[in-house]
Chain A
């Protein structure tokens, strides 16, 4: 068990650019979650998957955001035409359906939009 892995740890980009983050969940976990955390706040739910199916998407996610989990393993979160308000830490978590209340989080990707 290597834990939930997120890449990159830090991303600095200019406004208007596209960025993509990757999350590798714990291998046997079939559920995967994305959260966003801004400074001084708790994480906010963005979306979650069971296997490859995206089951819920927050209203926080505008059309510029898209998440995929093509083979039910790793997931990507893409932000198009980034804005300064997108600056935040993006957290990924995973769980298995047998113990779905226990989420294992990664260390996050810190995005700074200049």
Chain B
């Protein structure tokens, strides 16, 4: 069974600074997808960024980028130039390429942005 671990319950960052969220996962599969989702107080889960395991290049979406280390089964998220609107719960998630319906989420990291 796959597991996703987020070891940081909370991270604090000042506006305009950079914060990195950690995620590790366990799988025996070689083909899969990894995601970071954001959940603000409105509770709606919003996709931040995704990474296909077969791609070596790290995904980037504006101020968000990942560091994907397949051998180490590590998938960290870097938020650059942090903004107050980035404050939310961030979840790392795994999906097997064979089972498109099921996302496996970590426990989440609360990001606090201070002015």
A residues sitting closer than 8 Å to B (CB atoms) are: 31, 33, 35, 40-45, 48, 50, 55-56, 89, 91, 93, 100-103, 105-108
Give bound CA distance, A55 to B99, whole Å: 10
Residues of B within 8 A of A (CB): 4, 33, 35, 42-47, 50, 91, 93, 95, 99-108
A93 touches B45 (CB 8 A): yes
A105 B102 Cβ-Cβ under 8 A:
no
Give the residue among B42, B99, B105 with the most A Cβ atoms within 10 A: B105
Q: Which residues from chain B contact A33 at a C-beta distance below 8 Å?
A: 101, 103
Contact A43 B101 (CB under 8 A): no
- Quick check: A43 and B44 within 8 Å, CB to CB? no
Contact (Cβ within 8 A) A42 B42: no
Per the bound structure, the CA–CA distance linking A103 and B105 in Å amounts to 13
Contact status B101-A56, CB under 8 Å: yes
CB distance from B82 to the nearest CB of A (A): 22
Contact call A42/B95, Cβ cutoff below 8 A: no
Are B108 and A48 in contact, CB atoms less than 8 angstroms apart?
no
Determine the distance from Cα of A102 to Cα of B95 in the docked complex, in whole angstroms. Answer: 11
Partner among A40, A41, A91 whose Cβ is within 8 Å of the Cβ of B45: A91
Given contacts A31-B101, A56-B102, 14 further A-B contacts (CB under 8 A): A42-B4, A42-B107, A43-B105, A45-B103, A45-B104, A50-B101, A89-B43, A91-B45, A100-B100, A101-B100, A102-B50, A103-B47, A106-B44, A108-B43
Q: What are the residues of chain A within 8 A of B42 when measuring CB–CB?
A: 107
Q: A93: which B residues are within 8 A, CB to CB? A: 45
